Structure 1
Protein backbone atom coordinates (compact mmCIF):
# COMPACT_ATOMS: atom_id res chain seq x y z
CA UNK A 1 0.00 0.00 0.00
CA UNK A 2 1.25 3.46 -0.79
CA UNK A 3 4.22 4.49 -2.90
CA UNK A 4 7.47 2.49 -2.76
CA UNK A 5 9.96 5.21 -1.79
CA UNK A 6 11.72 3.31 1.00
CA UNK A 7 14.92 2.73 -0.98
CA UNK A 8 15.73 6.44 -1.26
CA UNK A 9 14.42 7.47 2.16
CA UNK A 10 16.49 5.15 4.37
CA UNK A 11 19.11 7.81 5.17
CA UNK A 12 16.42 10.29 6.26
CA UNK A 13 14.71 8.08 8.83
CA UNK A 14 15.47 9.32 12.33
CA UNK A 15 15.00 6.67 15.06
CA UNK A 16 13.17 8.18 18.02
CA UNK A 17 12.21 7.01 21.48
CA UNK A 18 8.68 7.18 22.79
CA UNK A 19 9.80 9.71 25.39
CA UNK A 20 10.60 12.23 22.64
CA UNK A 21 7.23 12.05 20.89
CA UNK A 22 5.14 14.16 23.27
CA UNK A 23 2.79 16.37 21.26
CA UNK A 24 -0.35 16.32 19.14
CA UNK A 25 -0.60 13.76 16.35
CA UNK A 26 -2.83 13.10 13.36
CA UNK A 27 -3.19 9.32 13.16
CA UNK A 28 -4.02 7.70 9.82
CA UNK A 29 -7.05 5.85 11.20
CA UNK A 30 -7.66 3.38 8.37
CA UNK A 31 -3.96 2.58 8.25
CA UNK A 32 -3.82 1.93 12.00
CA UNK A 33 -6.93 -0.27 11.98
CA UNK A 34 -5.58 -2.28 9.08
CA UNK A 35 -2.37 -2.87 11.05
CA UNK A 36 -4.24 -3.94 14.18
CA UNK A 37 -6.48 -6.32 12.23
CA UNK A 38 -3.51 -7.78 10.37
CA UNK A 39 -1.24 -8.34 13.36
CA UNK A 40 -3.59 -9.15 16.25
CA UNK A 41 -4.61 -12.69 15.34
CA UNK A 42 -4.41 -16.19 16.71
CA UNK A 43 -1.91 -18.74 15.37
CA UNK A 44 -4.21 -19.96 12.60
CA UNK A 45 -5.01 -16.40 11.57
CA UNK A 46 -8.39 -16.17 13.26
CA UNK A 47 -8.91 -12.63 14.63
CA UNK A 48 -9.91 -11.97 18.23
CA UNK A 49 -13.70 -12.24 18.62
CA UNK A 50 -16.34 -12.19 21.34
CA UNK A 51 -18.77 -15.08 21.90
CA UNK A 52 -21.13 -13.67 19.28
CA UNK A 53 -18.45 -13.79 16.61
CA UNK A 54 -17.82 -10.03 16.48
CA UNK A 55 -14.22 -9.23 15.58
CA UNK A 56 -12.43 -7.34 18.36
CA UNK A 57 -8.80 -7.30 17.18
CA UNK A 58 -9.09 -3.69 16.05
CA UNK A 59 -10.67 -2.60 19.34
CA UNK A 60 -7.91 -4.28 21.31
CA UNK A 61 -5.21 -2.56 19.26
CA UNK A 62 -6.98 0.78 19.30
CA UNK A 63 -7.62 0.81 23.06
CA UNK A 64 -4.25 -0.37 24.31
CA UNK A 65 -2.18 1.54 21.76
CA UNK A 66 -4.11 4.79 22.29
CA UNK A 67 -3.61 4.40 26.03
CA UNK A 68 0.11 4.07 25.38
CA UNK A 69 0.03 7.26 23.29
CA UNK A 70 -1.50 9.10 26.23
CA UNK A 71 0.98 7.57 28.64
CA UNK A 72 3.82 9.16 26.66
CA UNK A 73 2.13 12.52 26.25
CA UNK A 74 0.97 11.96 22.67
CA UNK A 75 -2.49 13.46 22.13
CA UNK A 76 -3.92 11.66 19.09
CA UNK A 77 -6.54 12.68 16.56
CA UNK A 78 -7.64 9.80 14.36
CA UNK A 79 -8.34 10.72 10.74
CA UNK A 80 -10.48 8.36 8.65
CA UNK A 81 -10.77 8.07 4.89
CA UNK A 82 -13.77 9.49 3.10
CA UNK A 83 -14.86 8.77 -0.46
CA UNK A 84 -11.92 7.50 -2.53
CA UNK A 85 -11.13 9.46 -5.68
CA UNK A 86 -12.01 7.94 -9.05
CA UNK A 87 -8.27 7.79 -9.71
CA UNK A 88 -8.05 5.04 -7.09
CA UNK A 89 -10.69 2.73 -8.55
CA UNK A 90 -8.23 0.37 -10.24
CA UNK A 91 -6.13 0.02 -7.08
CA UNK A 92 -9.22 -0.64 -4.96
CA UNK A 93 -10.44 -3.31 -7.36
CA UNK A 94 -7.04 -5.05 -7.31
CA UNK A 95 -6.88 -4.98 -3.51
CA UNK A 96 -10.39 -6.41 -3.27
CA UNK A 97 -9.43 -9.24 -5.62
CA UNK A 98 -6.31 -10.02 -3.58
CA UNK A 99 -8.29 -10.05 -0.32
CA UNK A 100 -10.98 -12.29 -1.79
CA UNK A 101 -8.41 -14.79 -3.09
CA UNK A 102 -6.62 -14.76 0.26
CA UNK A 103 -9.90 -15.34 2.08
CA UNK A 104 -10.55 -18.44 -0.03
CA UNK A 105 -6.98 -19.68 0.47
CA UNK A 106 -7.32 -19.11 4.23
CA UNK A 107 -10.39 -21.33 4.37
CA UNK A 108 -8.59 -24.10 2.46
CA UNK A 109 -5.51 -23.85 4.68
CA UNK A 110 -7.60 -24.11 7.84
CA UNK A 111 -9.42 -27.17 6.50
CA UNK A 112 -6.07 -28.77 5.70
CA UNK A 113 -4.63 -27.89 9.09
CA UNK A 114 -1.78 -25.82 7.63
CA UNK A 115 -1.35 -23.30 10.45
CA UNK A 116 1.49 -21.30 8.88
CA UNK A 117 -0.28 -20.90 5.54
CA UNK A 118 -3.54 -20.17 7.31
CA UNK A 119 -1.97 -17.31 9.26
CA UNK A 120 -0.33 -15.92 6.12
CA UNK A 121 -3.53 -15.93 4.07
CA UNK A 122 -5.60 -14.59 6.95
CA UNK A 123 -3.36 -11.52 7.16
CA UNK A 124 -3.64 -10.98 3.42
CA UNK A 125 -7.44 -11.12 3.63
CA UNK A 126 -7.65 -8.22 6.13
CA UNK A 127 -10.24 -5.58 5.34
CA UNK A 128 -11.58 -2.50 7.12
CA UNK A 129 -15.36 -2.41 6.67
CA UNK A 130 -18.09 -0.10 7.92
CA UNK A 131 -18.64 -2.02 11.16
CA UNK A 132 -14.93 -1.93 11.96
CA UNK A 133 -15.00 1.83 11.46
CA UNK A 134 -18.20 2.51 13.43
CA UNK A 135 -17.14 0.37 16.42
CA UNK A 136 -13.74 2.07 16.44
CA UNK A 137 -15.32 5.52 16.47
CA UNK A 138 -17.60 4.47 19.33
CA UNK A 139 -14.55 3.38 21.34
CA UNK A 140 -12.71 6.62 20.63
CA UNK A 141 -15.75 8.61 21.75
CA UNK A 142 -15.79 6.72 25.06
CA UNK A 143 -12.07 7.41 25.46
CA UNK A 144 -12.56 11.12 24.80
CA UNK A 145 -10.32 10.98 21.73
CA UNK A 146 -11.28 13.20 18.76
CA UNK A 147 -11.54 11.86 15.22
CA UNK A 148 -12.04 13.50 11.84
CA UNK A 149 -13.85 12.09 8.83
CA UNK A 150 -11.89 13.26 5.79
CA UNK A 151 -13.77 14.11 2.60
CA UNK A 152 -11.34 11.89 0.68
CA UNK A 153 -7.89 10.50 1.59
CA UNK A 154 -7.19 10.51 5.32
CA UNK A 155 -3.47 11.06 4.78
CA UNK A 156 -4.21 14.22 2.83
CA UNK A 157 -6.45 15.54 5.62
CA UNK A 158 -3.83 14.67 8.25
CA UNK A 159 -1.11 16.44 6.26
CA UNK A 160 -3.33 19.51 5.93
CA UNK A 161 -3.95 19.67 9.69
CA UNK A 162 -0.22 19.43 10.45
CA UNK A 163 0.72 21.99 7.80
CA UNK A 164 -1.91 24.33 9.21
CA UNK A 165 -0.24 24.09 12.62
CA UNK A 166 -3.18 22.47 14.43
CA UNK A 167 -1.17 19.30 15.09
CA UNK A 168 2.54 18.55 15.47
CA UNK A 169 3.02 15.51 13.26
CA UNK A 170 1.25 12.80 11.28
CA UNK A 171 1.41 9.07 11.97
CA UNK A 172 1.18 6.56 9.11
CA UNK A 173 3.12 3.65 7.66
CA UNK A 174 2.67 4.95 4.12
CA UNK A 175 5.04 7.45 2.53
CA UNK A 176 2.14 9.04 0.61
CA UNK A 177 1.83 11.50 3.49
CA UNK A 178 5.03 13.14 2.25
CA UNK A 179 3.55 13.61 -1.21
CA UNK A 180 0.62 15.42 0.40
CA UNK A 181 3.15 17.75 2.00
CA UNK A 182 3.17 16.68 5.66
CA UNK A 183 6.14 18.42 7.35
CA UNK A 184 6.80 15.63 9.88
CA UNK A 185 5.86 11.97 9.43
CA UNK A 186 6.20 9.38 12.22
CA UNK A 187 6.15 5.69 11.33
CA UNK A 188 5.87 2.51 13.40
CA UNK A 189 3.80 3.95 16.25
CA UNK A 190 1.00 1.44 15.77
CA UNK A 191 3.33 -1.52 15.26
CA UNK A 192 6.39 -0.80 17.39
CA UNK A 193 7.71 -3.58 19.58
CA UNK A 194 8.58 -7.21 18.88
CA UNK A 195 7.19 -8.75 15.69
CA UNK A 196 7.74 -12.01 13.87
CA UNK A 197 8.48 -11.57 10.17
CA UNK A 198 9.34 -14.52 7.93
CA UNK A 199 10.02 -16.76 10.89
CA UNK A 200 12.28 -14.39 12.82
CA UNK A 201 11.66 -11.88 15.58
CA UNK A 202 12.58 -8.26 14.90
CA UNK A 203 12.29 -5.07 16.92
CA UNK A 204 10.26 -2.31 15.28
CA UNK A 205 10.92 1.15 16.70
CA UNK A 206 9.35 4.54 15.90
CA UNK A 207 11.05 6.72 13.30
CA UNK A 208 10.61 10.31 12.14
CA UNK A 209 10.95 11.72 8.65
CA UNK A 210 11.19 15.46 7.98
CA UNK A 211 10.01 16.48 4.52
CA UNK A 212 12.31 19.51 4.32
CA UNK A 213 15.39 17.41 5.11
CA UNK A 214 14.39 14.77 2.58
CA UNK A 215 13.94 17.30 -0.20
CA UNK A 216 17.17 19.09 0.69
CA UNK A 217 19.13 15.87 0.93
CA UNK A 218 17.83 14.47 -2.36
CA UNK A 219 18.22 17.84 -4.05
CA UNK A 220 14.65 17.92 -5.33
CA UNK A 221 11.35 19.74 -4.79
CA UNK A 222 8.10 18.32 -3.50
CA UNK A 223 6.85 18.46 -7.08
CA UNK A 224 9.81 16.28 -8.07
CA UNK A 225 8.96 13.85 -5.28
CA UNK A 226 5.45 13.56 -6.71
CA UNK A 227 6.91 13.04 -10.19
CA UNK A 228 9.19 10.31 -8.86
CA UNK A 229 6.24 8.57 -7.28
CA UNK A 230 4.24 8.72 -10.49
CA UNK A 231 7.11 7.02 -12.33
CA UNK A 232 7.34 4.33 -9.64
CA UNK A 233 3.57 3.92 -9.27
CA UNK A 234 1.05 5.25 -6.74
CA UNK A 235 -2.43 4.32 -5.59
CA UNK A 236 -3.64 6.48 -8.47
CA UNK A 237 -1.50 5.23 -11.36
CA UNK A 238 0.35 2.08 -12.35
CA UNK A 239 3.82 3.56 -12.85
CA UNK A 240 6.31 2.52 -15.51
CA UNK A 241 7.68 -1.01 -15.54
CA UNK A 242 11.35 -1.18 -14.68
CA UNK A 243 11.55 2.20 -12.95
CA UNK A 244 12.31 2.03 -9.23
CA UNK A 245 13.09 4.78 -6.70
CA UNK A 246 16.75 5.28 -7.62
CA UNK A 247 16.07 5.45 -11.34
CA UNK A 248 13.13 7.77 -10.78
CA UNK A 249 15.35 10.06 -8.70
CA UNK A 250 17.90 10.29 -11.52
CA UNK A 251 15.15 11.08 -14.02
CA UNK A 252 13.67 13.99 -12.08
CA UNK A 253 17.11 15.36 -11.22
CA UNK A 254 17.79 15.47 -14.95
CA UNK A 255 14.44 17.20 -15.60
CA UNK A 256 13.45 14.24 -17.77
CA UNK A 257 10.08 13.41 -16.19
CA UNK A 258 7.91 14.42 -19.12
CA UNK A 259 10.41 13.10 -21.64
CA UNK A 260 10.33 9.70 -19.94
CA UNK A 261 6.53 9.64 -19.95
CA UNK A 262 6.42 10.63 -23.61
CA UNK A 263 8.69 7.70 -24.40
CA UNK A 264 7.42 5.03 -22.00
CA UNK A 265 3.75 5.98 -21.47
CA UNK A 266 2.68 8.38 -24.25
CA UNK A 267 -1.04 7.92 -23.55
CA UNK A 268 -0.80 8.69 -19.83
CA UNK A 269 -1.67 12.17 -18.54
CA UNK A 270 0.04 12.76 -15.17
CA UNK A 271 -1.70 16.05 -14.40
CA UNK A 272 -4.76 14.62 -12.57
CA UNK A 273 -2.46 12.65 -10.23
CA UNK A 274 -0.16 15.64 -9.68
CA UNK A 275 -3.13 17.89 -8.99
CA UNK A 276 -4.57 15.42 -6.48
CA UNK A 277 -1.35 15.25 -4.48
CA UNK A 278 -0.91 19.03 -4.66
CA UNK A 279 -4.51 20.02 -3.85
CA UNK A 280 -6.50 17.10 -2.45
CA UNK A 281 -10.02 17.52 -1.02
CA UNK A 282 -9.76 18.45 2.67
CA UNK A 283 -12.03 20.02 5.24
CA UNK A 284 -11.35 22.84 7.68
CA UNK A 285 -14.43 21.92 9.72
CA UNK A 286 -13.15 19.68 12.47
CA UNK A 287 -13.11 19.59 16.26
CA UNK A 288 -9.87 18.39 17.81
CA UNK A 289 -10.69 18.92 21.47
CA UNK A 290 -9.87 16.06 23.83
CA UNK A 291 -12.40 15.08 26.50
CA UNK A 292 -12.22 13.14 29.74
CA UNK A 293 -12.59 9.38 29.21
CA UNK A 294 -15.92 7.89 30.31
CA UNK A 295 -14.69 4.94 32.38
CA UNK A 296 -18.14 3.48 32.92
CA UNK A 297 -18.94 3.57 29.20
CA UNK A 298 -15.54 2.03 28.41
CA UNK A 299 -16.13 -0.88 30.79
CA UNK A 300 -19.59 -1.43 29.37
CA UNK A 301 -18.35 -1.34 25.77
CA UNK A 302 -15.19 -3.39 26.17
CA UNK A 303 -16.00 -5.74 29.04
CA UNK A 304 -19.76 -6.28 28.79
CA UNK A 305 -20.31 -6.10 25.03
CA UNK A 306 -17.00 -7.32 23.66
CA UNK A 307 -15.86 -9.47 26.61
CA UNK A 308 -12.46 -7.91 27.23
CA UNK A 309 -10.76 -8.79 30.49
CA UNK A 310 -12.03 -6.37 33.13
CA UNK A 311 -8.70 -6.66 34.92
CA UNK A 312 -6.77 -5.61 31.81
CA UNK A 313 -9.09 -2.70 31.06
CA UNK A 314 -8.99 -1.48 34.66
CA UNK A 315 -5.21 -1.86 34.72
CA UNK A 316 -4.92 0.47 31.73
CA UNK A 317 -7.23 3.04 33.30
CA UNK A 318 -5.32 2.84 36.58
CA UNK A 319 -2.00 3.27 34.77
CA UNK A 320 -3.35 6.33 32.99
CA UNK A 321 -4.38 7.84 36.31
CA UNK A 322 -0.99 7.04 37.83
CA UNK A 323 0.86 8.55 34.88
CA UNK A 324 -1.24 11.67 35.14
CA UNK A 325 -0.26 11.90 38.82
CA UNK A 326 -3.83 12.24 40.06
CA UNK A 327 -6.69 10.12 41.40
CA UNK A 328 -9.04 10.87 38.52
CA UNK A 329 -8.69 11.63 34.83
CA UNK A 330 -10.52 14.94 35.18
CA UNK A 331 -7.44 16.98 34.29
CA UNK A 332 -5.79 14.50 31.93
CA UNK A 333 -6.43 16.80 29.01
Structure 2
Protein backbone atom coordinates (compact mmCIF):
# COMPACT_ATOMS: atom_id res chain seq x y z
CA UNK A 1 0.00 0.00 0.00
CA UNK A 2 3.01 2.29 -0.20
CA UNK A 3 2.18 5.63 -1.87
CA UNK A 4 -1.51 4.75 -1.77
CA UNK A 5 -4.54 6.58 -0.41
CA UNK A 6 -6.67 4.36 1.84
CA UNK A 7 -10.10 5.00 3.37
CA UNK A 8 -10.76 3.90 6.95
CA UNK A 9 -14.13 3.58 8.69
CA UNK A 10 -13.52 5.81 11.70
CA UNK A 11 -16.18 4.16 13.87
CA UNK A 12 -14.61 0.73 13.31
CA UNK A 13 -11.10 1.99 14.07
CA UNK A 14 -12.25 3.81 17.21
CA UNK A 15 -14.11 0.74 18.49
CA UNK A 16 -11.01 -1.38 17.89
CA UNK A 17 -8.97 0.88 20.14
CA UNK A 18 -11.74 1.02 22.75
CA UNK A 19 -11.85 -2.77 22.89
CA UNK A 20 -8.06 -3.14 23.03
CA UNK A 21 -7.37 -0.31 25.51
CA UNK A 22 -10.62 0.64 27.28
CA UNK A 23 -8.82 2.89 29.78
CA UNK A 24 -7.19 5.05 27.09
CA UNK A 25 -8.69 7.53 24.67
CA UNK A 26 -9.05 6.23 21.08
CA UNK A 27 -7.35 9.44 19.99
CA UNK A 28 -4.06 8.01 21.20
CA UNK A 29 -4.41 4.99 18.95
CA UNK A 30 -5.41 7.17 16.01
CA UNK A 31 -2.35 9.34 16.60
CA UNK A 32 0.13 6.46 16.60
CA UNK A 33 -1.52 4.59 13.73
CA UNK A 34 -1.69 7.69 11.53
CA UNK A 35 2.01 8.41 12.00
CA UNK A 36 2.81 4.79 11.12
CA UNK A 37 0.82 5.13 7.91
CA UNK A 38 2.59 8.36 6.99
CA UNK A 39 6.01 6.86 7.72
CA UNK A 40 5.32 4.18 5.12
CA UNK A 41 4.07 6.63 2.52
CA UNK A 42 0.39 5.77 3.05
CA UNK A 43 -2.14 8.60 3.08
CA UNK A 44 -5.09 7.67 5.34
CA UNK A 45 -8.57 9.13 4.93
CA UNK A 46 -10.78 8.69 7.99
CA UNK A 47 -14.43 8.45 6.91
CA UNK A 48 -17.07 9.63 9.38
CA UNK A 49 -20.75 8.75 9.40
CA UNK A 50 -23.05 11.48 8.20
CA UNK A 51 -26.09 12.66 10.11
CA UNK A 52 -28.39 9.63 10.61
CA UNK A 53 -31.86 9.80 9.04
CA UNK A 54 -34.91 10.49 11.19
CA UNK A 55 -36.11 6.92 10.65
CA UNK A 56 -33.16 5.68 12.70
CA UNK A 57 -33.92 7.75 15.80
CA UNK A 58 -35.72 4.89 17.56
CA UNK A 59 -32.72 2.59 17.14
CA UNK A 60 -30.29 5.28 18.31
CA UNK A 61 -32.25 5.64 21.53
CA UNK A 62 -31.92 1.91 22.21
CA UNK A 63 -28.20 1.83 21.50
CA UNK A 64 -25.59 3.26 23.78
CA UNK A 65 -23.29 3.69 20.82
CA UNK A 66 -24.51 3.93 17.25
CA UNK A 67 -22.10 2.37 14.80
CA UNK A 68 -23.69 4.18 11.85
CA UNK A 69 -25.20 2.65 8.74
CA UNK A 70 -23.28 1.37 5.76
CA UNK A 71 -24.04 1.80 2.08
CA UNK A 72 -26.47 -0.77 0.79
CA UNK A 73 -24.75 -2.17 -2.27
CA UNK A 74 -25.68 -5.80 -3.00
CA UNK A 75 -23.73 -7.60 -5.67
CA UNK A 76 -25.24 -8.90 -8.87
CA UNK A 77 -24.16 -12.43 -7.96
CA UNK A 78 -26.13 -12.37 -4.71
CA UNK A 79 -29.25 -11.10 -6.46
CA UNK A 80 -28.89 -13.78 -9.11
CA UNK A 81 -28.58 -16.54 -6.52
CA UNK A 82 -31.64 -15.32 -4.62
CA UNK A 83 -33.64 -14.72 -7.83
CA UNK A 84 -34.72 -11.26 -6.72
CA UNK A 85 -34.02 -7.67 -7.72
CA UNK A 86 -32.29 -4.99 -5.67
CA UNK A 87 -35.62 -3.42 -4.68
CA UNK A 88 -36.91 -6.82 -3.60
CA UNK A 89 -33.77 -7.37 -1.54
CA UNK A 90 -34.45 -4.08 0.22
CA UNK A 91 -37.97 -5.27 1.05
CA UNK A 92 -36.54 -8.56 2.29
CA UNK A 93 -34.20 -6.75 4.67
CA UNK A 94 -37.06 -4.60 5.95
CA UNK A 95 -39.15 -7.70 6.64
CA UNK A 96 -36.29 -9.23 8.62
CA UNK A 97 -35.56 -6.02 10.52
CA UNK A 98 -33.48 -2.92 9.87
CA UNK A 99 -32.49 0.24 11.70
CA UNK A 100 -35.24 2.38 10.26
CA UNK A 101 -38.50 0.65 11.18
CA UNK A 102 -40.00 -2.31 13.01
CA UNK A 103 -40.18 -5.79 11.48
CA UNK A 104 -42.86 -8.40 10.96
CA UNK A 105 -42.68 -10.69 13.96
CA UNK A 106 -42.50 -14.42 13.45
CA UNK A 107 -40.68 -14.32 10.11
CA UNK A 108 -37.35 -16.06 9.68
CA UNK A 109 -34.91 -15.56 6.79
CA UNK A 110 -36.08 -18.60 4.84
CA UNK A 111 -39.79 -17.79 5.15
CA UNK A 112 -39.27 -14.10 4.38
CA UNK A 113 -37.24 -14.91 1.26
CA UNK A 114 -39.93 -17.29 0.02
CA UNK A 115 -42.60 -14.62 0.52
CA UNK A 116 -40.58 -12.01 -1.41
CA UNK A 117 -39.81 -14.47 -4.21
CA UNK A 118 -43.51 -15.25 -4.47
CA UNK A 119 -45.16 -11.86 -3.93
CA UNK A 120 -42.27 -9.49 -4.83
CA UNK A 121 -43.25 -6.53 -2.58
CA UNK A 122 -44.01 -5.87 1.07
CA UNK A 123 -47.48 -4.66 0.12
CA UNK A 124 -48.31 -8.01 -1.51
CA UNK A 125 -46.68 -9.97 1.31
CA UNK A 126 -48.90 -8.25 3.88
CA UNK A 127 -51.98 -9.26 1.87
CA UNK A 128 -50.94 -12.92 1.86
CA UNK A 129 -49.85 -13.66 5.43
CA UNK A 130 -51.63 -14.66 8.60
CA UNK A 131 -52.06 -11.42 10.55
CA UNK A 132 -52.39 -13.34 13.82
CA UNK A 133 -49.04 -15.12 13.58
CA UNK A 134 -47.36 -12.23 11.75
CA UNK A 135 -48.93 -9.02 13.11
CA UNK A 136 -48.20 -5.86 11.15
CA UNK A 137 -46.64 -3.16 13.37
CA UNK A 138 -48.81 -0.17 14.13
CA UNK A 139 -47.90 2.87 11.98
CA UNK A 140 -45.37 0.72 10.15
CA UNK A 141 -42.95 3.06 8.35
CA UNK A 142 -41.63 0.51 5.89
CA UNK A 143 -42.04 2.91 2.95
CA UNK A 144 -39.83 5.51 4.62
CA UNK A 145 -37.25 2.81 5.34
CA UNK A 146 -37.39 1.67 1.73
CA UNK A 147 -36.73 5.22 0.54
CA UNK A 148 -33.71 5.51 2.83
CA UNK A 149 -32.11 2.50 1.13
CA UNK A 150 -33.13 3.25 -2.46
CA UNK A 151 -32.82 7.04 -2.40
CA UNK A 152 -29.87 7.55 -0.09
CA UNK A 153 -28.53 11.11 -0.28
CA UNK A 154 -25.34 11.47 -2.31
CA UNK A 155 -22.54 13.62 -0.99
CA UNK A 156 -19.92 15.35 -3.07
CA UNK A 157 -16.43 13.98 -2.57
CA UNK A 158 -14.26 16.79 -1.17
CA UNK A 159 -10.82 17.60 -2.49
CA UNK A 160 -8.32 15.91 -0.18
CA UNK A 161 -5.10 17.58 0.88
CA UNK A 162 -2.40 16.38 3.28
CA UNK A 163 -0.33 18.82 5.31
CA UNK A 164 2.53 18.48 7.76
CA UNK A 165 1.47 17.23 11.21
CA UNK A 166 1.02 20.16 13.59
CA UNK A 167 2.90 19.01 16.68
CA UNK A 168 1.79 21.89 18.90
CA UNK A 169 -1.86 21.37 18.00
CA UNK A 170 -1.50 17.64 18.71
CA UNK A 171 0.07 18.36 22.10
CA UNK A 172 -2.73 20.80 22.92
CA UNK A 173 -5.45 18.25 22.13
CA UNK A 174 -3.85 15.03 23.38
CA UNK A 175 -1.98 16.42 26.39
CA UNK A 176 -3.70 19.58 27.57
CA UNK A 177 -7.27 18.46 26.84
CA UNK A 178 -7.02 14.65 27.05
CA UNK A 179 -4.21 14.56 29.64
CA UNK A 180 -1.81 12.23 27.84
CA UNK A 181 1.87 12.36 28.67
CA UNK A 182 3.45 15.16 26.68
CA UNK A 183 6.86 13.51 26.63
CA UNK A 184 5.43 10.42 24.95
CA UNK A 185 3.67 12.44 22.24
CA UNK A 186 6.71 14.60 21.48
CA UNK A 187 9.01 11.56 21.46
CA UNK A 188 6.80 9.85 18.87
CA UNK A 189 6.76 12.99 16.75
CA UNK A 190 10.56 13.12 16.92
CA UNK A 191 10.77 9.48 15.81
CA UNK A 192 8.37 10.26 12.96
CA UNK A 193 10.49 13.14 11.68
CA UNK A 194 13.71 11.12 11.95
CA UNK A 195 12.17 8.12 10.20
CA UNK A 196 10.81 10.22 7.37
CA UNK A 197 14.10 12.06 6.94
CA UNK A 198 16.02 8.78 6.91
CA UNK A 199 13.74 7.36 4.23
CA UNK A 200 14.05 10.53 2.16
CA UNK A 201 17.87 10.44 2.31
CA UNK A 202 17.88 6.77 1.38
CA UNK A 203 15.70 7.42 -1.66
CA UNK A 204 17.93 10.29 -2.76
CA UNK A 205 21.04 8.12 -2.46
CA UNK A 206 19.42 5.35 -4.47
CA UNK A 207 18.30 7.78 -7.16
CA UNK A 208 21.77 9.35 -7.34
CA UNK A 209 23.36 5.92 -7.70
CA UNK A 210 20.83 4.89 -10.30
CA UNK A 211 19.49 2.13 -8.08
CA UNK A 212 15.90 1.31 -8.86
CA UNK A 213 15.57 -2.18 -7.48
CA UNK A 214 12.27 -3.85 -6.73
CA UNK A 215 11.19 -3.81 -3.09
CA UNK A 216 11.77 -7.13 -1.39
CA UNK A 217 8.89 -8.96 0.23
CA UNK A 218 10.53 -8.87 3.66
CA UNK A 219 10.76 -5.08 3.55
CA UNK A 220 6.98 -4.79 3.65
CA UNK A 221 6.99 -6.42 7.11
CA UNK A 222 9.60 -4.65 9.20
CA UNK A 223 10.53 -6.44 12.44
CA UNK A 224 10.59 -4.06 15.38
CA UNK A 225 11.82 -6.55 17.99
CA UNK A 226 13.49 -9.90 17.49
CA UNK A 227 11.74 -12.91 18.92
CA UNK A 228 14.88 -13.89 20.84
CA UNK A 229 14.85 -10.54 22.65
CA UNK A 230 11.20 -10.91 23.59
CA UNK A 231 11.76 -14.50 24.75
CA UNK A 232 14.81 -13.53 26.79
CA UNK A 233 12.95 -10.70 28.51
CA UNK A 234 10.03 -13.00 29.24
CA UNK A 235 12.34 -15.59 30.80
CA UNK A 236 14.10 -12.95 32.87
CA UNK A 237 10.74 -11.74 34.16
CA UNK A 238 9.73 -15.28 35.15
CA UNK A 239 13.03 -15.84 36.97
CA UNK A 240 12.62 -12.60 38.93
CA UNK A 241 9.09 -13.59 39.88
CA UNK A 242 10.24 -17.03 41.05
CA UNK A 243 12.99 -15.48 43.19
CA UNK A 244 10.50 -13.07 44.72
CA UNK A 245 8.05 -15.85 45.56
CA UNK A 246 10.88 -17.93 47.05
CA UNK A 247 12.03 -15.04 49.24
CA UNK A 248 8.48 -14.54 50.51
CA UNK A 249 8.26 -18.21 51.48
CA UNK A 250 11.58 -18.03 53.33
CA UNK A 251 10.44 -14.95 55.25
CA UNK A 252 7.36 -16.84 56.41
Sort the TM-score into its range (normalised by shorter chain): 0.5 to 0.7
Match of 1:10 in 2: none
CA distance in 2: counterparts of 1:221 and 1:69, whole angstroms? 40
Out of 52, 75, 79, the position equivalent to 2:43 is 75
Larger Rg: 2
Match of 2:246 in 1: none
Match of 1:306 in 2: 180
Out of 252, 270, 288, the position equivalent to 2:116 is 252
Query: Higher strand proportion, which one?
Result: 1
Out of 26, 33, 47, the position equivalent to 2:14 is 33
Q: Which runs of 5+ in 1 are unaligned?
A: 1-18, 42-46, 49-56, 100-126, 129-152, 156-175, 182-209, 329-333
Q: 1:224 to 1:35 in 2, by over 3 A?
A: farther
Match of 2:100 in 1: 236
Q: Which runs of 5+ in 2 are unaligned?
A: 203-252
Q: 1:61 to 1:257 in 2, by over 3 A?
A: farther
**Considering only aligned residues, what root-mean-square deviation do their CA atoms show, in Å?**
3.8
How many residues align structurally? 190
8 Å contact 2:8–2:45 — kept in the other structure?
Answer: yes
Q: Which 4+ residue blocks in structure 1 deviate beyond 6 angstroms?
A: none
8 Å contact 2:8–2:44 — kept in the other structure?
Answer: yes
8 Å contact 1:29–1:154 — kept in the other structure?
Answer: no
- Secondary structure of the residue aligned to 2:200 is coil
8 Å contact 1:232–1:239 — kept in the other structure?
Answer: yes
Q: 1:251 to 1:74 in 2, by over 3 A?
A: farther
TM-score normalised according to structure 1 size:
0.45
CA distance in 2: counterparts of 1:291 and 1:212, whole angstroms? 40
Out of 142, 151, 156, the position equivalent to 1:279 is 151
Query: Higher helix proportion, which one?
Result: 2
Give the structure, 1 or 2, with the largest relative contact order (CA under 8 Å, sep 6 or more).
Answer: 1
